[in-house]
Amino acid sequence: MFDENEIYSLIEKGKKKSGSITEVKQILAKAKKQALCFSTSSEYVQGLSEEETAVLLNLDSSNLELMQELFDAALYVKRAIYGNRIVIFAPLYVSNYCQGGCLYCGFRHDNKAIKRKKLNHNELIDEVKALQAQGHKRLLMLMGDDPAYTLDEFVEAIHVVSSVKTATSGEIRRINVEIPALDKEDFKKLKATDKIGTYTLFQETYHRPTYQKVHPYGPKKDYDWRLNTMDRALESGMDDVGIGVLFGLYDYRFEVLSLLKHANHLDKKYGIGPHTISVPRIQSALNTPFTDNLEFALSDLDFKKVVAIIRLAVPYTGIILSTRENEQMRREVYNLGVSQISAGSKTEPGGYHEEKCSSGQFFLNDIRPTHEVIYDLVKMGFIPSWCTACYRLKRTGKVFMQIAKKGEIQDCCHPNALLSFIEYLLDYADQKTRELGLNLIDKEIATVPNLKKREQLIANIEKLKNGTRDLFI
């Protein structure tokens, strides 16, 4: 798919050009101008080129003035495309059995310190009820890679999860999955559930020698099989795919350029770029010494730089942030391009309804309950969104990409985000969040530019207040 030497050559050329402040400013200006075009023309916008991205990646992080210009440009682009929405989800781990030997992961097979568990149907139901009680409507289901939990069991689990309903209006409306690399037959089986949103899989590192070093044994050992997973997924009918890198395994400049090449490859070949790009940074995990001394650990400043650059390079993609980051860092990157976050997360199977039921994949740095994360977002002026309209109206795959690349995400997502937020405020929020949230919504209604949509929104808000649920336009 791509040549490592080409990436090193891009990095070297970028390094030379990054010394020119004029060049850097021109790139940032281009990124902002593209975002402006988004809202005013019917042109597709492609984001930055690989060469331009390489220049930004080589920016001297100690040049705080220029870094601030980069961050400002990322915020500008994010606002133009995504507005002030942040999509909320929770991970649901169904099994932590794993044959993998991934050195950075607490679930790895040889980790004898870990307590293993796979959820039976009743436990799954209890997990979903606990998540619904927090207001969650969107889940990311995950499992380890082990015959102890087969794909057939996972498919059954998907049906169980989607069948659970609790008062008030508790239901899971979108299930994304992050499960091991599948072959085409298994992707078809997953697709046949007709309940899957995005299929996500991280390459972890695109650097082949590092990949081999950190995956000494197990099903994940084969670099090429993993790299080609998204091709198999899209060729088997999956609509939306998410990619990502585990930052800290190798040089972030190499990783971001590889991510970009991967995104461009999928976009060019299938007309479907990555629906999401995830930006996990390695965190420590139980009995996982590999994470203690990382040669390529990403500093906070460089992490912010990476998020901002991905926003400029792939403006149409959703950027996903997990609770690996602490609350302060999470607040900072909301303004740099992140558009989806997990909240109230547990990485232990059973962790939402039981204490000490099993062991987690890694330690979390944001352990706030969901309602605190939501309150914090609202205080900052963000609209938490549980919207699932696109997926349920079949605006997925190529159709979604066309909307996203024309910058029309805002147009359909903003009113629907508001509707999902009102549901949360009415059904799950405490008094202070409800008051703050309803005030914010009042201000936001006036910002919906399309008058017809604004009227629909106002009418639907009334219906929600009168007890109707699950409305979108």
Which of these, 154, 92, 153, 156, lies nearest to 128 by C-alpha position? 92
In the bound state, the residue with its beta carbon closest to ligand SF4 is 100
204 in Cβ contact with 254 (< 8 Å): no
| Residue at token pair 């309803």 | 438
107 or 247, CB closer to ligand SF4? 107
Q: Tell me how far apart the alpha carbons of residues 385 and 300 are, in angstroms, rounded to a whole number.
A: 27
Residue 149 in the binding site for ligand SF4 (CB under 6 A): no
Residue 98 in the binding site for ligand SF4 (CB under 6 A): yes
Q: What is the nearest approach in angstroms of ligand SF4 to the Cβ of residue 43? A: 40
**Strand stretches in 50-127, DSSP E:** 85-95
Which of these, 49, 45, 41, 145, lies nearest to 93 by C-alpha position? 145
What sign does the dihedral 383-386-389-394 (CA atoms) show?
Answer: positive
Q: Tell me how far apart the alpha carbons of residues 76 and 28 are, in angstroms, rounded to a whole number.
A: 10
DSSP state of 118: B
Q: Per CB under 6 A, which region of 23-31, 96-104, 123-131, 298-306 contacts ligand SF4?
A: 96-104
Which of these, 411, 441, 409, 410, lies nearest to 424 by C-alpha position? 441
Q: What is the nearest approach in angstroms of ligand SF4 to the Cβ of residue 219? A: 7
Q: Per CB under 6 A, which region of 69-77, 101-109, 166-174, 351-359 contacts ligand SF4?
A: 101-109
144 or 351, CB closer to ligand SF4? 144
Residue 141 in the binding site for ligand SF4 (CB under 6 A): no
142 in Cβ contact with 178 (< 8 Å): yes
144 or 274, CB closer to ligand SF4? 144
Q: Tell me how far apart the alpha carbons of residues 440 and 425 are, in angstroms, rounded to a whole number.
A: 11
Q: What is the nearest approach in angstroms of ligand SF4 to the Cβ of residue 358? A: 13
78 or 346, CB closer to ligand SF4? 346
Q: Tell me how far apart the alpha carbons of residues 268 and 265 are, in angstroms, rounded to a whole number.
A: 5
Residue 348 in the binding site for ligand SF4 (CB under 6 A): no
Cα dihedral 301→274→266→56 (10° resolution): -20
Q: What is the nearest approach in angstroms of ligand SF4 to the Cβ of residue 108? A: 4
Residue from the set 50, 127, 145, 240 that interacts with ligand SF4 by CB under 6 A: 145
Residue 107 in the binding site for ligand SF4 (CB under 6 A): yes
Q: Per CB under 6 A, which region of 98-106, 190-198, 433-441, 450-458 contacts ligand SF4?
A: 98-106
162 or 358, CB closer to ligand SF4? 358
Residue from the set 117, 220, 226, 406 that interacts with ligand SF4 by CB under 6 A: 220
Q: What is the nearest approach in angstroms of ligand SF4 to the Cβ of residue 205? A: 12
| Residue 376 neighbours by CB under 8 Å, 6+ apart | 327, 331, 368
Q: What is the nearest approach in angstroms of ligand SF4 to the Cβ of residue 39? A: 40
348 in Cβ contact with 359 (< 8 Å): yes
Strands 196-200 vs 85-95: parallel, antiparallel or unpaired:
unpaired
Residue from the set 100, 244, 337, 397 that interacts with ligand SF4 by CB under 6 A: 100
Q: Per CB under 6 A, which region of 5-13, 42-50, 105-113, 226-234 contacts ligand SF4?
A: 105-113
Residue 105 in the binding site for ligand SF4 (CB under 6 A): yes
142 or 233, CB closer to ligand SF4? 142
> Angle 348-351-353 (CA atoms, 0-180°, nearest 5)?
160
Q: Tell me how far apart the alpha carbons of residues 319 and 404 are, in angstroms, rounded to a whole number.
A: 13
Q: What is the nearest approach in angstroms of ligand SF4 to the Cβ of residue 50? A: 28
245 in Cβ contact with 211 (< 8 Å): no
Residue from the set 66, 67, 74, 102 that interacts with ligand SF4 by CB under 6 A: 102
Widest pairwise Cα distance in the chain: 62
Interface size with ligand SF4, residues (CB under 6 A):
9
Residue 161 in the binding site for ligand SF4 (CB under 6 A): no
What sign does the dihedral 159-164-165-170 (CA atoms) show?
Answer: negative
Which of these, 206, 198, 196, 200, lies nearest to 180 by C-alpha position? 200
180 or 407, CB closer to ligand SF4? 180
Residue 349 in the binding site for ligand SF4 (CB under 6 A): no
| Residue 375 neighbours by CB under 8 Å, 6+ apart | 430, 432, 433, 436
Residue 144 in the binding site for ligand SF4 (CB under 6 A): yes
Q: What is the nearest approach in angstroms of ligand SF4 to the Cβ of residue 175? A: 19
Residue 245 in the binding site for ligand SF4 (CB under 6 A): no
Q: What is the nearest approach in angstroms of ligand SF4 to the Cβ of residue 95? A: 9
85 or 220, CB closer to ligand SF4? 220
87 in Cβ contact with 318 (< 8 Å): yes
Helix (H/G/I), strand (E/B), else coil: 325: coil
| Residue at token pair 């977002």 | 377
Residue 108 in the binding site for ligand SF4 (CB under 6 A): yes
102 or 249, CB closer to ligand SF4? 102
Give the footprint of ligand SF4 on this chain (CB under 6 A): 98, 100, 102, 105, 107-108, 144-145, 220
